[in-house]
Homo-oligomer: A and B are copies of this chain.
Amino acid sequence: MKRTKKERQRLLTETIAENPFVTDEQLASQFNVSVQTIRLDRMELAIPELRERIKDVAAKNYENEVKSLPIDEVIGEIIDIELDNRAISIFDVGQEHVFQRNGIARGHHLFAQANSLAVAVIDDELALTVKANVSFIRPVKAGDRVITKAIVRGQDDEKNRTYIDVVSTVNNDKVFKGEFEMYRTKGSVQ
């Protein structure tokens, strides 16, 4: 009565996509066919059984939970530093740093690496970011190794400011740049 097999399978796919928690038995009564028919349909459509579907949903969720890790301390590993002059850090982008939808790194991680480096390069007890002007030039993907260089451009001792340029590259392609205005407690006199 429900019409063709094709139509039923279309609806089946839809129904399961909408609510993965439905059993074959429920589906059978919904479509007025036997449980076996539903099973055959699932076979043909390569739809896994209830438990597998649930497990998939759960696993996806679980990954997300693990992923929401806090950004802590310094982002990226500082490999070279000359205080009040320049610094370089590397940061390996992992799965946990990207949008799972498209695999592109979330901007704030790149910002965090740049900001951390700007703080680190200043030879002072206290260094705070006052302003930042940043551009995300190209998307960065999981697996990319981001190399970030910070260069101290100038200093305003009266206002206790230090100006820093930061550039990040992946395989020599510029992916991010920023200008940071930093506050520091004292001048850079050693």
- For residue A10, CB closer than 8 A to chain B, the reply is no
A136–B125 CB distance below 8 A: no
Task: Give chain B nearest CB distance to A48 CB in angstroms.
Answer: 13
Task: Select A115's contact among B72, B101, B107, B133, beta carbons within 8 Å.
Answer: B107
Q: Kindly report which residue of chain B lies nearest to residue A109, judged by CB atoms.
A: B71
Cα–Cα, bound, A107→B126 (Å): 13
Q: By the criterion of a CB under 8 Å from any partner CB, how many residues of chain A are at the interface?
A: 49
Task: Give chain B nearest CB distance to A19 CB in angstroms.
Answer: 9
**Given A57-B58, A96-B70, A134–B136 Cβ distance below 8 Å?**
no
Main secondary structure of the interface of A (DSSP, over half): mixed
Q: Kindly report which residue of chain B lies nearest to residue A118, judged by CB atoms.
A: B107
Q: Kindly report which residue of chain B lies nearest to residue A185, judged by CB atoms.
A: B102
Q: Kindly report which residue of chain B lies nearest to residue A104, judged by CB atoms.
A: B128
- For residue A85, CB closer than 8 A to chain B, the reply is no
Residues of B within 8 A of A106 (CB): 73, 115-116, 119
- For residue A51, CB closer than 8 A to chain B, the reply is yes
Task: Select A55's contact among B54, B68, B96, B129, beta carbons within 8 Å.
Answer: B54
Q: Can you report 14 A-B residue pairs in the complex whose CB atoms are below 8 A from each other? A: A21-B55, A51-B51, A54-B54, A55-B58, A57-B62, A71-B109, A72-B96, A73-B99, A102-B126, A104-B128, A107-B129, A111-B111, A131-B134, A133-B133
